[in-house]
Structure 1
Amino acid sequence: MNEGQTRVRIPVDERRPLAAYPYVTVHPIRYGDLDPNNHVNNAVIATYMEIGRTEFFAREGLRLTTQGRGISLVHIEIEYHREILYPGFVEIAIGILKVGSASATFDQAVFVDGKRHVSASATTAQVDTVAKRATPWNDEQRARLEALIIR
């Protein structure tokens, strides 16, 4: 956030429901995901978000590593609403909020039994794997990503 900006928190019950997301993947909660408090560790939550983005890009055919390009995370914010307990399954939801010249910003969430437990916003950038810098989406990529923007 820039200086002078204030964060507007959206109450958890006013956020998008699971059905509003264009992509959802389901993963088991593993015993090894737990911390000493017996709930899923915050580092694992970040991994759930990464799984969602990785599977989203793969499903959309945007695995770019063979073309000298890749996807790098440049920003993430995670908000925890409820603890996630073992055993069970998480539903990792993802949708695109905005497409930049070389980036995409995602709305992500983790649901358990249909209830939102975690919210996140993540921005990724397409990078040239040799030059190690952002490289713009081509017209086909941009069109595919923009078609997936959630309103």
Structure 2
Amino acid sequence: MNAPLPPNAEPCLEDFPFRVSDNVRFGDLDPNHHVNNAVYATYFETGRVALMKDRSYGLLPPGLGWMMVRLDMHFRAELRWPGQIELGLGVARLGRTSVTFDQVVFSDGRCVASAQAVTVLIDEKTRKPTPLTAEIVENLQPWLRRGIVVTEPGL
């Protein structure tokens, strides 16, 4: 198993092959006038969903779905409005039924938050975990995070 991105390591956006741009919204702010900590979960979700739910990437075969089972976030710097953010995502680990992603939020060239998210492939009828298909594993290859070795599960 690969270790999560260490909290003190400074991530490099180029290590995350899947990227989505977004805006900081005024409604994202808390009374301290910076982005509320809970909003980061939404930013990370935006990155994952943009990849996983886009059928053109081949990661959502009929009858299967993805369920979030874990999200570990690390807040690195304040983020304020107005502003634009760059969301980066890279596959960090492939399990038998799960995919672990390393994710980052960048603003003005600086990483303001990082996370590790674990999603499990489920059968939509039984709602039970199901093994990753060879097709899904193949279709995840372009999104492997640079700088780490991702081993494939036994299929």
- TM-score range (shorter-chain normalised) is 0.7 to 0.9
Q: Which deviations, in whole Å up to 9, do the C-alpha atoms of 1:47-97 show, x marking residues without a partner?
A: 000000001222623234xx1211110111000010110000111110000
1:45 is matched with 40
CA separation of 1:139 and 1:9: change in aligned 2, threshold 3 A: closer
Q: Please name the residue that 1:117 is paired with.
A: 112
Which residue is equivalent to 2:58?
61
The aligned residue for residue 132 of structure 1 is 127
Aligned residue number for residue 151 of structure 2: none
Which amino acid in the other structure matches residue 123 of structure 2?
D
Q: Does the CA contact (< 8 Å) of 2:91 and 2:101 recur in 1?
A: yes
Residue 52 of structure 1 aligns to a residue whose secondary structure is: helix
Q: Which ranges of structure 2 fall in alignment gaps of 5 or more residues?
A: 149-155
Q: Relative to structure 1, is the Cα distance of residues 78 and 10 closer, same or farther in structure 2, using a 3 angstrom cutoff?
A: closer
TM-score by length of 1: 0.86
**Is residue 99 of structure 1 aligned with residue 107 of structure 2?**
no
Q: Distance in 2 between matches of 1:21 and 1:131?
A: 33
Structure 1 position 142, deviation (Å): 1.4
1:71 pairs with 66, 71, 75, which one?
66
Give the whole-Å Cα distance in 2 for the aligned partners of 1:46 and 1:20.
20
Task: Note closer, same or farther for the CA distance 1:8–1:114 as it changes in structure 2 (3 Å cut).
Answer: closer
- Give 3-state SS (helix, strand or coil) of 1:38's partner: coil
Q: Which has the higher contact order (CA 8 A, sep 6+)?
A: 2
Question: Post-superposition shift, 1:146?
Answer: 4.1
Tell me if 1:27 matches 2:22: yes
- Separation in structure 2 between the aligned mates of residue 10 and residue 77 of structure 1, nearest angstrom: 11
The separation in 1 between residues aligned to 2:6 and 2:14, in whole angstroms, is 21
Gaps in structure 1 of 5+ consecutive residues? 1-6
1:146/1:100 CA distance change after superposition, 3 Å: farther
Identity %: 35
- Kept in 1, the 8 Å contact 2:123–2:130? The answer is yes
Equivalent-residue separation in structure 1 for 2:107 and 2:133 (angstroms): 36
> Which one of the candidate residues 7, 11, 27 is aligned to 1:16?
11
C-alpha distance 8-103 of structure 1, shift in aligned 2 (>3 A): closer
What TM-score do you get using the length of structure 2 for normalisation? 0.84
